[in-house]
Structure 1
Amino acid sequence: MNSPDHAAPGLPGLFAERAGDYRAGMHHCTEDELPGVLAGLLAAAAKVVLPPGVPAAWTSGLAVPTLLDDRGLTAADLDEAGLSVLTGCAVAVAETGTIVLDAGPGQGRRLLTLVPDHHVCVVRDEQIVADVPDMITALPDPTRPLTMISGPSATSDIELNRVEGVHGPRRLDIVCVHPAI
């Protein structure tokens, strides 16, 4: 990634605020606290799907009945009740509260993040950029297909009543990993 080693001051807070506006669950921790936070968020899951490249340390505290590697799971497999997915991201955009996945290591393919009922995404402070132009610059390969996610799946009916989870995760939890102080 072409981003700086540390996020500019204020960007992690702005990102958390904006992602929270989209009804994403926001959680904050240090690297050492990360396995425990993930274990808590995924405790109720019957199965957790992991894309290739998820760090082993992330799953060290998980006590779910089944951990699945995403090796050719179908949409029907991923649409099971009680299924969660755990990913990282390529970059996050503070201005829009958006996480961006490019199918790189630990992120998985689009189907993996758009079908399961619950998506947990880990975002590190240094992955957060100010705006969309900075996002393009920060991507390792801006020609790769991107999945941009701002909150759980949502749509509005004709009367503008918001309905969540119609065509994707009903629940999005973002775990922001901050440097230890």
Structure 2
Amino acid sequence: MQDTKEKIVGLADQLIKTKGFNSFSYKDIADPLAIRNAAVHYYFPTKADLGMAVIDQEINFMNTGIANWETLPEDQQLRHLIASFENKCNRHMVCIMGSLSPDYNTLPENMQARLRQFSASVIAWVTKCLENGQKKGIFHFKGTAGDRALLIVSNLLASLLLSRVMGETAFENISKQLLDDIL
């Protein structure tokens, strides 16, 4: 049973990152998994419940990544973050923040709150990484680490969207420039 639930969340994650939250139905999940809509409803009574599971999965992935990177120098930590975005780019996906943000005003309140929480935690982590790297002389930039974190994350989000239109070189150019600007 857990396997079916994980497959539902995995497919929902893929659909959100390729089509958007409001652009898929439970039928889009049930058909490829060869299950009934009722099976999806069994695990996730509402689409918001499914959306929360996808966001929670992304939070867990991010927390695991951060835990694995924390012993690395800050420039390497940031490179790992960029690599996680590159992975999405290579699969023609956007990240969960980039996918759900355009739909934000139509999302249920609990999903909005969780998305805000996730976004704030990503920005806080990048800010801390930049602060620590700046103190060690790894990073050099004007302005505050918090403002630079916003620029980095927003550029990474936008790079995935632009890559859909302009090709993967858009991501490559933006991510390279982001690092060049602070190293």
TM-score by structure 1 length? 0.23
Q: Which has the larger radius of gyration?
A: 2
Higher relative CO (Cα under 8 Å, sequence separation at least 6) belongs to 1
The structure carrying a bigger helix percent of its residues is: 2
The structure carrying a bigger strand percent of its residues is: 1
